[in-house]
Amino acid sequence: MPAVNPAPGHPGLASSPASAPAPAGDSPPASSPAPASRKVVLEPAEIRRALTRIAHEILERTDGGAGTVLLGIPTRGVPLARRLAERIEQVEGRPMPYGSLDITMYRDDLRLRPARALGRTEVPAGGIDGAIVVLVDDVLYSGRTVRAALDALNDLGRPRAVQLAVLIDRGHRELPVRPDYVGKNLPTSKQEVVRVMLTEVDGEDAVLLGRAADQPPGDPPPGDQPAGGTGAGRSRG
Amino acid sequence: MNRHLISAGDLTRDDALLILDTADELAQISDRPIKKLPTLRGRTVVNLFFEDSTRTRISFEAAAKRLSADVINFSAKGSSVAKGESLKDTALTLEAMGADAVIVRHSASGAPQRLAGWVRGTVVNAGDGSHEHPTQALLDSFTIRRHFGRSASSRAAASPADGALDGLRVTIVGDVLHSRVARSNVLLLHTLGADVTLVAPPTLVPVAVGSWPCHVSYDFDSALPKSDVVMMLRVQQERMNAAYFPSVREYSRRYGLDAARMAQLPDQAIVMHPGPMNRGVEIAAEVADSARSTIVEQVANGVSVRMAVLYLLLGGAEGES
């Protein structure tokens, strides 16, 4: 299932069949008869260029990547971290350690929905103590995923610094979090849905912006603030 | 998944695999410097043990604490139960204290089922009489899965299987009649696709075994070469109020696992025991301490599996998933 980022006021809505986008690998998304109309925001070539640029920025800001570890947040942050590591390796000619950091157990909205399956946490052999950790995720939204990731990191060790790289920054922060590296700033309304598709997970590369057709309009009710998502497309913070 | 875990038979194949996969991830926690997750912060887990237990109670306690739950231990000795309080009154007391989960062990089969009707929280069966012990079955399947390369980490590239135990031959030997471990294991192993054979003296085979999804044999030696896993059961003398076999020595000769019998097992086979062991009765010391034995590993896996159960039952929103 692709990543879905519904409005924060409607956790779990995207998991219902009515509002879930059609599964990956079907007809071209822009013309698919899904309830939501959506347009392509990033083409595969643009995703490629954005990642190459981020890889160079990481090298510049970490003194050539020495003592740096890339940790992707499942699901789609993990292949992004791997792609960044591969690019950095091509440029620098030495391996860039990368891994994954599952944040499920640290989420602040666990009690709002049934318990979900865990992702994988794999920290490179050198660990993260004293390293510069670059967290990698697909979409930055409320900031809650990043907060959870910082808590998770805290239990794994003590990095020298933590930075954040995201493919899409769609705004609407609910916490004081800012990214260090951004593939594309994408102004959105909270009613819109950003869907990142990656070859490793979805069979093709694309970033789509759509409107959740079945989503009721209006502001979310108070107290319902944690950004929602589905087990597959988690809320991205 | 159900809100309670009373019987291994209540678990679908998907439920069981979700628990085992979750346990695989949680097992990593025990290798970290900080063996703790904040997931169940503010939740209260009560260990309600009406029967003696060391490893199960400690295992549940460790699991709940690693998930940051508050743990209240209750044992029947030295409590109001000794003064004659009923199970129901005890349950209502716990309810009033705000228990989110009750882990119950009781000498009466069916006690957790009754309890589930009285309390609002989640009930996890930690062994009821000679009925069931579902978390033991889960940790046994978890251990088997790891040894045969079917856990999430090892199977990713290797096989297209979903991590179940299809095709593995498991032989469960000994006091099946009094064993809640055997019943839960037969149900769960069958759900996961394993081929189960019970081996026991005729007096220690339950009357209703014909309805169980397994084979029954009285001949240990012929079952040995056809076993990937041999699970030895403890002879439960405390539950035996009649003579089920002529003497301990004769039982040991016919149904005990000694070095000579172990030598008949296939190369990859493992030896399991839920503990506590009667060394020299159902299992020889040299077998229990051999490289094939997974007995210590089973204890370690118990914590991971119970963490997974507590997380999946308590970690999310109220209601069905």
Contact flag B25-A119 (C-beta cutoff 8 Å): yes
Supply the pLDDT for residue A157.
Answer: 93
Reported as a pLDDT band with limits 50, 70 and 90, residue A189 is: very high
- In tens, the pLDDT along B270-308 reads 999 998 999 999 999 999 999 999 999 999 999 999 999
Which residues of chain B have a pLDDT value below 70?
78, 82, 152-161, 241-242, 318-321
Contact flag A106-B32 (C-beta cutoff 8 Å): no
- Residue in A with minimal Cα distance to B42: A111
Residue A227 lies in a domain: no
Instruction: Out of A198-202, A230-234, B61-65, pick the least confident.
Output: A230-234
Residue A214 lies in a domain: no
Catalytic residue status for B4: no
Comparing CB atoms, the residue among A116, A119, A151 nearest residue B38 is A151
CA end-to-end distance (rounded Å), chain A: 19
- Given a cut of 50, whether residue A222 has pLDDT beyond it is no
Supply the pLDDT for residue A212.
Answer: 74
Q: What share of chain A is helix, strand, coil (3-state, %, to 5)?
A: 25, 20, 55
- C-alpha torsion B153→B157→B160→B162, nearest 10: 10
Supply the pLDDT for residue B318.
Answer: 67
Residue A212 lies in a domain: no
Number of structural domains chain A divides into: 1
Supply the pLDDT for residue B52.
Answer: 84
Instruction: State the residue range of the domain holding A154.
Output: 44-188
Residue to test with chain A: of B18, B39, B318, most A Cβ within 10 A = B39
Supply the pLDDT for residue A18.
Answer: 38
CA end-to-end distance (rounded Å), chain B: 6
Supply the pLDDT for residue A179.
Answer: 98
Catalytic residue status for B55: yes
User: B106 vs chain A: nearest CA distance in angstroms?
Assistant: 28
Contact flag B38-A106 (C-beta cutoff 8 Å): yes
Residue A23 lies in a domain: no
Catalytic residue status for B135: no
Supply the pLDDT for residue A36.
Answer: 52
- Spell A200-216 as b/e; 16+ CB within 10 A means b: ebbeebbbbbbebeebe
* CATH number, domain with residue A82: 3.40.50.2020
Q: Which domains does chain B have, with CATH numbers?
A: 8-132+300-314 (3.40.50.1370), 136-294 (3.40.50.1370)
Tell me which chain B residues have a C-beta less than 8 angstroms from the C-beta of A155.
Answer: 32, 34, 36-37
User: A196 vs chain B: nearest CA distance in angstroms?
Assistant: 24
Comparing CB atoms, the residue among A111, A120, A121 nearest residue B316 is A111
Look at residues A77, A76, A2 and name the one whose alpha carbon lies nearest to residue A36: A2
| A34 CB-contact burial (10 Å; exposed 0-12 / middle 13-18 / buried 19+) | middle
State the helix-helix crossing angle for B295-314 and B13-27, rounded to 10 degrees: 110
Q: What ipTM is given for this predicted complex?
A: 0.85
- Given a cut of 70, whether residue A2 has pLDDT beyond it is no
DSSP-assigned letter for residue B283: B
Contact flag B311-A121 (C-beta cutoff 8 Å): no
Cross-strand partners of A163: A134
Sign for the CA dihedral angle at B164, B20, B111, B77 comes to positive
- Spatial contact of B143 and B304, defined as CB atoms under 8 Å apart: no
Tell whether B84 is within 8 A of chain A (Cβ).
Answer: no
Catalytic residue status for B36: no
DSSP A33-83: --SS-EEEEE-HHHHHHHHHHHHHHHHHHTTTTTTEEEEEPTTTHHHHHHH
Tell whether B159 is within 8 A of chain A (Cβ).
Answer: no
Give the separation between CA B202 and CA B222, rounded to whole angstroms: 16
Pair of tokens at residue B106: 């009781």
- Spatial contact of B34 and B154, defined as CB atoms under 8 Å apart: no
- Spatial contact of B51 and B127, defined as CB atoms under 8 Å apart: yes
- Given a cut of 60, whether residue A237 has pLDDT beyond it is no
Supply the pLDDT for residue A213.
Answer: 60
Mean pLDDT for chain A overall: 81
Chain A, 113 to 142: residues with Cβ < 8 Å from chain B are 113-121
Reported as a pLDDT band with limits 50, 70 and 90, residue A216 is: very low
